[in-house]
């Protein structure tokens, strides 16, 4: 039987709060040559998500 995961590892509350401000954004990009879609994955601060999706 497998051992249960230990919860003894404590996280710093400041780091946990800061991590909530980031999001993983996945954008579908169409190739001009083949017309096939590829996906671009980025982890950004939530204030910069809109700029990334607009292509700025």
pLDDT per residue as tens digits for the range 2-56 = 666 555 456 677 777 778 889 999 999 999 999 999 999 999 999 999 999 898 7
Residue 26 lies in a domain: yes
Residue 14 lies in a domain: no
Residue 41 near residue 25, CB atoms below 8 Å: yes
Reference 25, options 50, 8, 4, 3; nearest CA is: 50
Residue 30 near residue 36, CB atoms below 8 Å: yes
Per the structure, how many domains does the chain have? 1
Size (the chain), residues: 56
Residue 34 lies in a domain: yes
Residue 2 lies in a domain: no
What is the domain range of residue 33? 22-54
Residue 10 lies in a domain: no
Question: What's the token pair of residue 34?
Answer: 């083949």
Residue 47 lies in a domain: yes
Cα–Cα distance, 41 to 56 (Å, whole number) = 16
Does the pLDDT at position 1 exceed 70?
no
Name the β-bridge partners of 44. Answer: 23
Instruction: State residue 16's pLDDT score.
Output: 73
């Amino acid at each position: 039987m497998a051992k249960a995961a230990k919860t003894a590892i404590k996280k710093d509350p400041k780091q946990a709060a800061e991590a909530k401000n980031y999001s993983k954004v996945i954008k579908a990009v169409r190739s001009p040559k083949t017309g096939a879609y590829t996906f671009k994955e980025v982890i950004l601060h939530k204030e910069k998500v809109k700029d990334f999706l607009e292509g700025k």
